[in-house]
């Protein structure tokens, strides 16, 4: 039997066991808990009987956690090899302990980690995962950071942008090279950027920007170009909920520039559509490329153009036993805005990362889709920018409780650095994925 088919069958069996046991636990949990507590309070139980009853109760809860952990580890659907994993054990002074890895970068010697709970940027040997040092510190001076928002590796140098301090710090192999402060008063924080000989190309994420792409002249630190009106491509009224900044559907698009005249972008809640925009003769044009296999055949909640659903706030928070989890198995992917008019959103898809190959001919979109059976699929769409065809690869599947892919960084060929939560434990691994050409 094919090993990947066997893995899929095993995962299906595990999932049936997990779902069935959870259904039983939903019934037994409140009954056993109430029974034990009532008898303990009423003095109707001897010490041994009370201990036995409470032991049964904790066995129910503990076995639930064990089964959950068994199905939480990802199952890969393609040949792969893990070269190292860091983060499973806390190292000296916590250099291998992560909280929420937000950004990953790499040059030819190191990979760099921006973690939400760390005031510095840590870097590690790209071949072994060994800790090599850190960049910066908390503060507002040279080589100090408040909020690292984005970055890029250009010509072997790491550029990091701090949106609070409106500056870029540049390092090469762990050594500081220069600090660049942006003097344009209208400058907004870049979601992504790229560097060429004399300018920095900035991209912004919001659908409401009149100019989602800007150029900053490195000599003057002033804006030298501004284009891409996203409002004309995907009007705000088309996706009105994406303008609500208080919920998890608020980050609008992920942009990946080719140069200062061409950029590709996708929605941050990937809907199977990749857009190519260009500027020419003082205007702009945009064209959409669709994935014909997006969300097909595996009981996905998403479909083309449908990436989340608005829920009734009062119905969702109906008081009772565990009704929320019964009706909405993806409880952890429901986002709430409780300020003003309460809103609820049930999210079905998410974009993990977007990147080009070395020849700038293939756009790669890594994303996750949620299924009705509590499982999550991690997929990759490769868009050929010349033929505008799309190839979809299913990379891995996991049970969607406390397991999630945080980021993926392409190193070249089939080599990747991935930030992952394994049953709630943040780890970073280097892996080779056989993507089949």
CATH number at residue 158: 2.40.10.500
For residue 365, give both structure tokens.
Answer: 């979109």
As a whole number, the mean pLDDT across the chain is: 77
State which residues form the domain around 12.
3-72
In a domain, residue 359? The reply is no
Count of other CB atoms within 10 angstroms of residue 190: 25
Task: Give the pLDDT of residue 434.
Answer: 94
Residue 299 pLDDT more than 90? no
The pLDDT value given to residue 282: 78
Residue 315 belongs to some domain of the structure: no
The whole-number pLDDT of residue 165 equals 83
State residue 76's pLDDT score: 92
Final residue of a domain: which of 50, 72, 94? 72
- What phi and psi, each to the nearest 5 degrees, are found at residue 101? -75, 115
**57 found inside a domain:** yes
Residue 251 lies in a domain: no
Query: What would the mean pLDDT of 328-338 be, rounded to a whole number?
Result: 56
Q: Structurally, how many domains does the chain consist of?
A: 2
Question: Whole-angstrom Cα distance, residue 86 to residue 107?
Answer: 19
Among 214, 235, 256, where does a domain finish?
Answer: 235
Chain centroid to CA 398:
15
Structure tokens at 90: 């806390």
Closest to 405 (Cα-Cα) out of 434, 436, 431, 383: 431
Q: Is residue 374 part of a domain?
A: no
Q: CA 80 to CA 56: how far, in whole Å?
A: 41
What are 55-89's pLDDT values in tens digits? 555 555 555 444 444 445 788 999 999 999 998 76
| DSSP structure class, residue 303 | B
Phi, psi (degrees; rounded to nearest 5) at 58: -70, -25
Q: List the one residue out of 255, 248, 166 whose CA is nearest residue 206.
A: 255
Residues 386-406: what's their mean pLDDT? 84
Give residue 119's pLDDT. Answer: 79
pLDDT tens, residue by residue, 123-158: 999 999 999 999 988 888 888 888 888 889 988 999
In a domain, 338, yes or no: no
């Amino acid at each position: 039997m094919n090993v990947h088919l066997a893995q899929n069958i095993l995962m299906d069996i595990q999932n049936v066991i997990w779902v069935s046991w959870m259904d039983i636990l939903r019934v037994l949990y409140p009954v056993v808990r109430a029974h034990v507590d009532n008898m303990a309070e009423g003095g109707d139980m001897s010490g041994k009987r009370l201990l036995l009853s409470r032991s049964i109760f904790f066995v129910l809860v503990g076995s639930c956690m064990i089964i959950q952990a068994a199905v939480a580890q990802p199952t890969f659907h393609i040949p792969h090899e893990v070269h190292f994993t860091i983060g499973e054990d806390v190292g000296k002074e916590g250099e291998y302990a992560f909280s929420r890895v937000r950004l990953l970068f790499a040059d030819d010697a190191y990979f760099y980690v921006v973690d939400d709970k760390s005031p510095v940027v840590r870097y590690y040997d790209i071949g072994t995962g060994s800790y090599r040092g850190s960049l910066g510190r908390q503060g507002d001076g040279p080589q100090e950071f408040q909020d690292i928002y984005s970055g890029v590796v250009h010509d072997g140098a790491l550029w990091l942008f701090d949106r609070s301090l409106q500056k870029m710090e540049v390092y090469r192999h762990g050594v500081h090279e220069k600090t660049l402060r942006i003097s344009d008063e209208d400058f907004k924080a870049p979601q992504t950027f790229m560097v060429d000989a004399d300018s920095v190309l900035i991209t912004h994420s919001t659908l409401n920007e009149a100019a989602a792409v800007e150029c900053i002249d490195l000599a003057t630190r002033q804006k030298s170009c501004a284009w891409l009106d996203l409002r004309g491509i995907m009007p705000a009224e088309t996706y009105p909920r994406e303008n609500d900044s208080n919920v998890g559907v608020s980050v609008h698009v992920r942009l990946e520039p080719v140069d200062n005249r061409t950029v590709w972008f996708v929605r941050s809640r990937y809907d199977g559509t990749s857009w190519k925009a260009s500027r020419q003769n003082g205007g702009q044009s945009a064209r959409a490329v669709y994935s014909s296999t997006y969300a097909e055949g595996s009981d996905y909640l998403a479909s083309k153009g449908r990436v989340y659903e608005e829920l009734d706030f009062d119905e969702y928070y109906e008081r009772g036993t565990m009704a929320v989890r019964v009706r909405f198995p993806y409880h952890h992917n429901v986002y709430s805005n409780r300020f003003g008019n309460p809103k609820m959103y049930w999210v079905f898809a998410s974009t993990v990362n977007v990147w080009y190959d070395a020849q700038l001919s293939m756009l790669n979109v890594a994303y996750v889709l949620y299924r009705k059976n509590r499982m999550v699929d991690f997929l990759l769409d490769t868009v050929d920018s010349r033929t505008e065809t799309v190839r979809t690869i299913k990379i891995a599947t996991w049970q969607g409780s406390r397991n999630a892919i945080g980021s993926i960084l392409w190193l070249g060929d089939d080599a990747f650095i991935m930030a992952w939560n394994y049953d709630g434990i943040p780890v970073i691994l280097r892996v080779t994925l056989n993507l089949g050409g």
